[in-house]
A and B are shown apart, each in its own frame.
Chain A
């Protein structure tokens, strides 16, 4: 039922079987894993028995103490049981066995299944990346009737993204914050924002604890300057080190990204980040349908779910196409400069080489690729 070269188990609920190798996801070539049948479709009763058999198996013969402690279980059995109970729990049984359910709902169930058991994006081949992106696009289409475009474009050769922020130019208008929220489909209910603009008093240095990052008065305010923070895409990112499931990593073009489908929501990265660059979805992110940005990237602004981390990606959906991030484009003062650090003729390189630049908490060795400078 699954192609042998796949890294995860998949179940064909509606599609005709293409390969006749007869192997199924559990690795066995003949029955016993509960998901194998000679017929393309099982009857409802057959499926029920197979599912029950797969989930509890010989435990039917045991009871009480034995059932809990006298279990011979290896990794594969454990996974099989988990998969089978998930299958039942998720209601996939309902959709896959019912003769009444439409092709569409079967397709939905199929997509959900494949998405549930897909691998880590970081380890996927380009084909696998494309497949998961196609599934997500189709799934969105089935659920909302709207077509989005989602990219799985990899990092370009000879590109390392860097950012510079002019603290004498920023006027605190927060147009960048607004553009970022719209571009990246951030949750409107919790008013999540990747960018913070800190209003600081002139002549007192960078005191983040005394700065106001949620001001609302006419700007620029007398005797203040403005400094923006967001994810700095460190070259030595502590958030990546602490992730127990490797759901976040540094791409070849220097972007630190998150696989929202692999993240388990432990928030270690949030604790590890010295710059308050990461955000957590305490609730399901919601964006009004008409405001959803349909130009998406798997690692960027696609819709997230509850309980996962997210953060600024330097607008990977834009930057990998050669565009500037939304914040750079929105800034009316030209305080934000973005570009390719490896290009000796780029404007970002000129800034680094000709202006007096500094980074935040440089002593930590995190090597942020986000520099500040003054006129």
Chain B
């Protein structure tokens, strides 16, 4: 009698234990995906995939800014008439006087206002092959982001980290990101409004 009630007790305990143990689904040992990422990321060994193949045909330069090292497209070889001094052989004032064929007539500055910016805010009139900072230091055309970051420091921080701007190649390392002037025309940096790429006519019918 005693032993049977003990048996019943034990099996009851076992059943309760099993219910408690198996009813909660603890398939994952982490409480959330953030915890999981941090824990599993600690043992990150790197991946065998690479973006290098997708960067073929793009000339890139390696930059290191604020602890982030990544590739950006080369700029100077993309500028059709670089080097500028091939035409700008004389001081600007002289070139504007004579009856030389007009150049850059189509460039309009829609960037900040006249008080803040004009051509020579960025371009160096004494050396047309280079850009210059507000303090007069020279900046290479390939590193023009240094010019933009003088005012747009918030965007610069985001760009370095990867929150602003767009990747070239794939997600896999090495990281290659577009630089400011690959998306923004420096003379008119805003994005134009336009019509959406497509319209779903079927959805309209379904919702009628």
Contact = CB atoms under 8 A, between A and B. Distances in A.
A193 B200 contact: yes
A334 B164 contact: yes
Interface in B135-163: 154-155, 158, 161-163
A322 B172 contact: yes
Contact of A339 (B45, B50, B171, B201): B171
Contacts of B204: 214
Given A343-B41, A346-B171, A156 B33 contact: no
Interface string A318-330: 1111111000100
A220 B191 CA distance: 10
B203 interface: yes
Given A322-B50, A322-B172, A350-B161, A342 B40 contact: yes
A147 B54 CA distance: 23
A352 B36 CA distance: 14
A334 B179 CA distance: 12
A347 interface: yes
B29 interface: no
Interface string A352-375: 101100000000000101000101
Contacts of B196: 172-174, 215-216, 219
B41 A322 contact: no
Contact of A214 (B162, B172, B183, B199): B199
A338 B172 CA distance: 10
A224 to B, nearest CB: 12
Contacts of B175: 347
A157 interface: yes
Contact of B158 (A235, A332, A375): A375
A355 B105 CA distance: 41
Given A174-B196, A347-B163, A322 B36 contact: no
Interface string B164-207: 11110111110101100001000000010111111111111001
Contacts of B154: 375
A369 B161 contact: no
B24 to A, nearest CB: 13
Interface in A295-342: 318-324, 328, 331-334, 337-342
A173 to B, nearest CB: 6
B179 to A, nearest CB: 12
Contacts of B172: 322-323, 340
B171 A341 contact: no
Contact of A341 (B37, B200, B203): B37
Nearest to B178: A334
A347 B167 contact: yes
Contacts of B28: 235-236
Given A191-B202, A334-B183, A347-B163, A159 B170 contact: no
A157 B161 contact: no
Contacts of A172: 196
B170 A323 contact: yes
B199 A351 contact: no
A216 B197 contact: no
Nearest to B30: A235
Given A324-B170, A333-B191, A351-B162, A342 B44 contact: yes
A158 interface: yes
B4 interface: no
Contacts of A171: 191, 193
B197 A175 contact: yes
A232 to B, nearest CB: 11
Contact of A351 (B50, B155, B161): B161
B40 A322 contact: no
Interface string A205-228: 000000000111111100000000
A184 B162 CA distance: 27
B47 interface: yes
A337 B163 contact: yes
Nearest to A164: B163
Q: In this complex, which of A160, A162, A347 has the most chain B Cβ atoms within 10 angstroms of its Cβ?
A: A347
A322 B171 contact: yes
A217 B50 CA distance: 40
Contacts of A339: 171
A214 B44 CA distance: 42
Contacts of A164: 163
**Top 10 A-B pairs ranked by shortest CB distance?**
A347-B162, A322-B172, A322-B49, A334-B166, A350-B161, A323-B170, A191-B202, A174-B196, A178-B197, A367-B33
Interface of B: 28, 32-34, 36-37, 40-41, 44-51, 54, 154-155, 158, 161-167, 169-173, 175, 177-178, 183, 191, 193-204, 207
Given A177-B198, A341-B41, A375-B154, 7 more contacts: A166-B163, A171-B191, A318-B170, A328-B171, A337-B163, A346-B171, A351-B162
